[in-house]
A and B are shown apart, each in its own frame.
Chain A
């Protein structure tokens, strides 16, 4: 798989403050790439460098194998976290202006805009001023403007903020549709459930350094602890717990079931498989619940950030 974007040890300081310290990331073609990190970690600086808004102090960035240059502006669509539109300008006029700034021809932009407006059912907003629209409505326009010129690389910084759940869902579907049409997406957010749902790859930036990156499934495999959530119906729970503790690392667990069976988190040793645990359990009682605990992005995020 080709990489659409490669950042090689990019550094940037503002005065004495180091915003990025030799950060390298690779964004595979056609992926949805989650750029994560606590507030102030340096995500926005990296995104701005990719957008050529700020220049890096050192390091370089390749887009489609070529060093980043002015002509790449039309290949990128950027929805910043701090976003807005000219309040007193009309929707259509403004969208046309922004599209033309991205290098589109006026007629083509107009045609595509009408298509988008129709699909999102906002066609009658064309002659309204932004200040007459609600925040969510303006966000929709902003989204359309970002993706209108069909860029290879889309960068969304908190794309769902300001949307109600229904519209957030519409936008999510649109992002997935764009991905299926071949776009690569860099996605920066604090909403871990959207990362879980959308991202194939992630990078975690903390205090100006990249501390984790890669394929999400691969990362999850790295972080999994071979722990299983177990529900066991038995006549003597105390005895079973003691027996288990001799073989495995056991801790109490909390999950909802229909009965009041013994609930435990059981960690399997490195040389054992889930089958070993399962067969052991069946000898102790009736197994009503058996699930491998897969670490959530949220867990991975918190764990990695805290350990650094």
Chain B
């Protein structure tokens, strides 16, 4: 008698009908959207504020470099000592005072430039000021050395290195960035999935123990079937939740940004800056085109197949361990000591993924960790967009599958004994003993 479909169905329906699941599923995207909207709104407010900066230029050579911008206005102060200027600016609601002392040679000025303000100024303001002053002083310096500036300007060459691998596929900095996003997202998704739904499986095993229904159930079905049914049913609930989130998220995101007319591109993320740097002058349309092209250059088929294989393998490996933990304890509070060895490799894999793989996707560490079964799902998923030889993927997958089978066997043993053990505080030694039962 194969009861697996029946068990899967029950586990799935119980999870999906659960009130907290429904609330979580509906509320999470709302909260996410609300947060993103809030951040976007706040950063818009922040940018809307006009900054007034006063300039006291004793050299008289730099001030005309500063021209008013949309959110930054400059006031040039004349005929004042630094002391009066400071008092005046302090009394006004100006953002700060830029002081440039008189100088003989542009090279000697460095210490003669100061910025006074009430609070420490924003880094972007300072760097804007620095860029302007630097450029003016460089020009002055060049003039002093009798160099023709117009000649320099006209001979400046802007280049972008066109990267290409030996098979003739083009790559670029943007490509690397797109790969990073794809790899990082899939690795991180797996990580989150394992933690959220692994815990759910564990709780559901504990629930069967504490409600004492377990003995009734396993007089009808094999514990192995029950465990697998639980893992698969819960994962399907998880997939359902993800699909709902994606759909709901997309709908809400679009409608919110339409309703409030908030330009979501206002959000300054580090990634975006990176993107902008790598693309310096091109306008937004070419950026999008380039990104699309970069995505198309990814080994998409490989990526999708590998994503499913490693996702399923990694998830099953970890969730069977979660099920074993659930069986070994009497209540959720007892799970701590067993959680650590599970979380350790998971967290490690995310760290290795985000630091080592980005730095050098094919380095020793990245390669090694993409073979170790407990870290390979996350690390390999992050590496694959950068192009991993098929044989490496297959070997890693085989190791993962072997480990997964061993883990399920091991978990089933603990599960079988553990679900009927009450009141006994399980230690690692106790678990070892169970293996022999």
> Interface residues, chain A, CB within 8 Å of chain B?
14-15, 48, 51-53, 70-71, 73-74, 76, 78, 80, 82-89, 97-98, 100-103, 142, 145-146
B3 within 8 A of A: yes
Query: Using a CB-CB cutoff of 8 Å, which residues 14-36 of chain B contact chain A?
Result: 14, 18
Complex alpha-carbon distance, A74 and B220, angstroms? 8
> Interface residues, chain B, CB within 8 Å of chain A?
1, 3, 6-7, 10, 14, 18, 207-208, 211-213, 215-221, 420, 422, 433, 436-437
Chain B: which residue is nearest A71 at the CB level? B1
Cβ contact within 8 Å between A85 and B211? yes
Given A51-B219, A97-B10, decide whether A84 and B211 contact each other with a Cβ distance below 8 A: yes
Cβ contact within 8 Å between A78 and B219? yes
Q: Could you list 20 examples of A-B contacts with CB < 8 Å?
A: A15-B433, A15-B437, A74-B1, A78-B215, A78-B219, A80-B219, A82-B422, A83-B213, A86-B14, A87-B207, A88-B14, A89-B14, A97-B6, A100-B3, A100-B6, A101-B3, A101-B6, A102-B220, A103-B1, A146-B216
Which of the residues A52, A73, A86, A103 comes within 8 Å of B213, measured between beta carbons?
A86
B215 neighbours in A (Cβ, 8 Å):
53, 78, 80, 82-83
B216 neighbours in A (Cβ, 8 Å):
78, 80, 83-85, 98, 142, 145-146
Excluding A100-B3, A101-B220, A102-B220, 16 further A-B contacts by CB distance (< 8 Å) are A15-B433, A15-B436, A53-B215, A53-B218, A53-B420, A70-B1, A74-B1, A78-B215, A78-B219, A80-B212, A80-B216, A80-B219, A83-B216, A86-B14, A86-B208, A101-B3
Chain B: which residue is nearest A52 at the CB level? B219
Complex alpha-carbon distance, A146 and B217, angstroms? 11
Complex alpha-carbon distance, A146 and B1, angstroms? 18
A52 neighbours in B (Cβ, 8 Å):
219
B212 neighbours in A (Cβ, 8 Å):
80, 82-84
Chain A: which residue is nearest B14 at the CB level? A89
Complex alpha-carbon distance, A76 and B215, angstroms? 14
Which of the residues B1, B7, B14, B208 comes within 8 Å of A73, measured between beta carbons?
B1
Cβ contact within 8 Å between A76 and B219? yes
B213 neighbours in A (Cβ, 8 Å):
83-86
Question: Separation in Å of the B187 CB from the closest CB of chain A?
Answer: 35
A88 neighbours in B (Cβ, 8 Å):
14, 18
A89 neighbours in B (Cβ, 8 Å):
14
Complex alpha-carbon distance, A98 and B208, angstroms? 14
Complex alpha-carbon distance, A97 and B10, angstroms? 8
B10 neighbours in A (Cβ, 8 Å):
97
Chain B: which residue is nearest A84 at the CB level? B212
Question: Separation in Å of the B430 CB from the closest CB of chain A?
Answer: 10
Interface centre among B18, B215, B420, B422 (most CB of A within 10 A): B215
A83 neighbours in B (Cβ, 8 Å):
212-213, 215-216
Question: Separation in Å of the A293 CB from the closest CB of chain B?
Answer: 41
A84 neighbours in B (Cβ, 8 Å):
211-213, 216
Cβ contact within 8 Å between A86 and B211? yes
Interface centre among B10, B422, B433 (most CB of A within 10 A): B10
Complex alpha-carbon distance, A146 and B6, angstroms? 18
Complex alpha-carbon distance, A80 and B437, angstroms? 21
Question: Separation in Å of the A62 CB from the closest CB of chain B?
Answer: 19
Chain B: which residue is nearest A103 at the CB level? B1
Complex alpha-carbon distance, A74 and B6, angstroms? 16
Complex alpha-carbon distance, A98 and B217, angstroms? 7
B437 neighbours in A (Cβ, 8 Å):
14-15
Chain A: which residue is nearest B213 at the CB level? A84
A70 neighbours in B (Cβ, 8 Å):
1
Complex alpha-carbon distance, A73 and B217, angstroms? 11
Complex alpha-carbon distance, A113 and B376, angstroms? 50
Question: Separation in Å of the A85 CB from the closest CB of chain B?
Answer: 5
Complex alpha-carbon distance, A80 and B217, angstroms? 10
* 10 nearest A-B residue pairs (beta carbon): A84-B212, A101-B220, A80-B215, A84-B211, A78-B219, A51-B219, A82-B212, A84-B213, A15-B433, A102-B220
Complex alpha-carbon distance, A130 and B417, angstroms? 27
Question: Separation in Å of the A135 CB from the closest CB of chain B?
Answer: 12
Question: Separation in Å of the B398 CB from the closest CB of chain A?
Answer: 32
A100 neighbours in B (Cβ, 8 Å):
3, 6
B207 neighbours in A (Cβ, 8 Å):
86-87
Complex alpha-carbon distance, A173 and B219, angstroms? 25
Chain B: which residue is nearest A16 at the CB level? B433
B436 neighbours in A (Cβ, 8 Å):
15
Complex alpha-carbon distance, A142 and B219, angstroms? 14
Cβ contact within 8 Å between B433 and A73? no
A82 neighbours in B (Cβ, 8 Å):
212, 215, 422
Complex alpha-carbon distance, A53 and B216, angstroms? 10
A85 neighbours in B (Cβ, 8 Å):
211, 213, 216
Question: Separation in Å of the A92 CB from the closest CB of chain B?
Answer: 14
Question: Separation in Å of the A151 CB from the closest CB of chain B?
Answer: 11
Complex alpha-carbon distance, A262 and B7, angstroms? 70
Question: Separation in Å of the A40 CB from the closest CB of chain B?
Answer: 13
Complex alpha-carbon distance, A132 and B420, angstroms? 26
B420 neighbours in A (Cβ, 8 Å):
48, 53
B14 neighbours in A (Cβ, 8 Å):
86, 88-89
Question: Separation in Å of the A164 CB from the closest CB of chain B?
Answer: 20
Question: Separation in Å of the A12 CB from the closest CB of chain B?
Answer: 9
Question: Separation in Å of the B429 CB from the closest CB of chain A?
Answer: 11
Complex alpha-carbon distance, A89 and B217, angstroms? 14
Complex alpha-carbon distance, A88 and B213, angstroms? 12
A14 neighbours in B (Cβ, 8 Å):
437
Question: Separation in Å of the A31 CB from the closest CB of chain B?
Answer: 21
Chain A: which residue is nearest B217 at the CB level? A101
Cβ contact within 8 Å between A87 and B211? yes
B6 neighbours in A (Cβ, 8 Å):
97, 100-101
Cβ contact within 8 Å between B211 and A73? no
Interface centre among B10, B212, B216, B436 (most CB of A within 10 A): B216
Question: Separation in Å of the B201 CB from the closest CB of chain A?
Answer: 16
Complex alpha-carbon distance, A152 and B80, angstroms? 108
Complex alpha-carbon distance, A38 and B422, angstroms? 19
Complex alpha-carbon distance, A297 and B218, angstroms? 33
Complex alpha-carbon distance, A98 and B216, angstroms? 8
A15 neighbours in B (Cβ, 8 Å):
433, 436-437
Question: Separation in Å of the A93 CB from the closest CB of chain B?
Answer: 9
Complex alpha-carbon distance, A29 and B30, angstroms? 64
A76 neighbours in B (Cβ, 8 Å):
219
Chain A: which residue is nearest B211 at the CB level? A84
Complex alpha-carbon distance, A142 and B212, angstroms? 12
Complex alpha-carbon distance, A102 and B207, angstroms? 21
Interface centre among B6, B213, B422 (most CB of A within 10 A): B213
